Amino acid sequence: MRCDELEAQLTDFLEGLLPAAVEAAAIEHVATCERCEAVLAGTRAVIAMAPQAGRLRLPEEDREELLQRILSAVAAAGEPRSDGSGERDR
């Protein structure tokens, strides 16, 4: 799985709605990609901050904006590998 594929399916991943094979690929990708691990952690943190609001469904436009803000914050905070892949050295 690539970063863009995970990003496109992040909501379904977090809600446990992905087919087993796709979920396994997402888990494997997150385990080897610092950027996606940070995106996932940041998204989970945002979700954890709003339990009193109950479960809401953001409009697609708002979800995309939130995701882009998280990705921008992660990019600003992290230092990518020299090859720009975001993947960890094994």
Output the CA torsion 56→48→25→74 (10° steps): 110
> Quick one: pLDDT at residue 40?
92
Q: How far apart are CA 43 and CA 63, in angstroms?
A: 11
Model confidence at 51, in pLDDT bands (50, 70, 90)?
A: confident
- What's the pLDDT at 79? 53
Contact (Cβ atoms closer than 8 angstroms) between residue 34 and residue 78 = yes
Between 16 and 54, where is the model more confident?
16
Percent of the chain past pLDDT 90, that is, above it, reads 54
Burial class (CB in 10 A: 0-12, 13-18, 19+), 70: buried
Give the model confidence (pLDDT) of 63-82 as tens digits: 999 999 988 888 887 655 44
26 has a pLDDT exceeding 90: yes
